[in-house]
Amino acid sequence: MTLNTDKMTHSVYNNLAILAWVVTFLLMIASGPMIYKGLVLKSEDLCSIDEELKELEFFKNCDFDNFKNTAWTLWIIVVASLGFVTIVSIVQTALAFTEKRILKRVLFSFVSLLSIASCVAIGYFFFQLYNTRFNPPKPVWRNLHFDMIKSLEQNFKSDNVNSNDGKSNEWNMLFFNFECCGVDNVYGTTNDFDTTSWCTTSGSCQKTNSQIPKSCCKNENEFDYETAHSNCHASVNPGTYHEKGSYSVIKREIKKRRKEVHKAFDDFLASAITVGMLMVTYGALEIAFLILVFCEQCKKSTETNPTTAQNHTQHSSTRNNTSTDTVNNVHEQINERTHVTPM
């Protein structure tokens, strides 16, 4: 009976080791997209509208960093859990092929500790997932408009994209890249540039050679803008320049960026939920493993104790029979001596 129990326990070890590896590989496959997206989110500047507009800092109400930190925390938990799961699967495989009882007990204890740690990690993962919220404050457009007007007045000093002032250069690149001009729409010689140092202190506007920057002219770029026709930057003739103001462009880009980050958040959460469900499955398998092994050990102990008691009873009975036979033999010898006839 003990032999059958050992075979059954060994079969449990084998089956659970196979299941552990199946779930481990599924978890690795499911975690791949989440791990990749987490790395992308960590390295990407979610608040950036354009790589060439970093110094303008119009997107001051960006709260995407909170989401990035939460996503990175979930990423670390998943990677750590994958490490735990892989180690547990290796140990369970070792249990299936180990015959020594002492080593089995050590490995079983190790699996138990790792299983508890995995369950804690799974619980913390879902706690973080449940508390993850993506609701950054909406930009106050009035404040955005005020900040842009103020920035243009203080920072636009030249229509040269290679000047020594980085923010002035970025304003020009903004006009080139997004085909706009000023902050509000430009309809003539009176516009947002009238209050800039480019017009009030020094520059081609101050010298009345230009009313708008050459970077506002149509069909021009940062390489050939210096040859822009005077009908555009000096006369400001309709159709020769971009009338659209940069405020509407930046507002549009901010809304677009928010949608992109929202989508990235939804994709990340979808991957996280898939990984979480597989982690729950793995945790259930580990609990089943511990319960089954514990039950098999209890059954084995129960079967061993009656056998030992029976052997002890048989041994005691044999000893009693031997003692009785010895006493009877002594009595017979005494009786024989008593009835002997004297010579």
pLDDT of residue 234: 92
The chain-wide mean pLDDT, for the chain, equals 76
Q: Domain residue spans in the chain?
A: 2-54+61-137+259-306, 141-249
Question: What average pLDDT does this structure show over 252-267?
Answer: 83
Residues with Cβ < 8 Å from 267, sequence gap 6 or more? 37
* pLDDT, greater one: 31 or 172: 172
Q: What is the pLDDT of residue 157?
A: 92
The burial of 281, by beta-carbon neighbours within 10 Å (0-12 exposed, 13-18 middle, 19 or more buried), is given as middle
CA distance 89 to 286: 10
d(C-alpha 279, C-alpha 276), whole Å: 5
Quick one: pLDDT at residue 335? 54
**Chain centre to alpha carbon of residue 325:** 81
Q: Report the alpha-carbon distance of residue 234 to residue 212 in Å, rounded.
A: 7
Quick one: average pLDDT of 173-201?
A: 92
Q: Could you report the per-residue pLDDT of 41-75, keeping only the tens digit for each? A: 777 777 777 776 777 766 555 667 667 777 788 78
**Residue 323 to residue 13: CA distance in whole angstroms:** 49
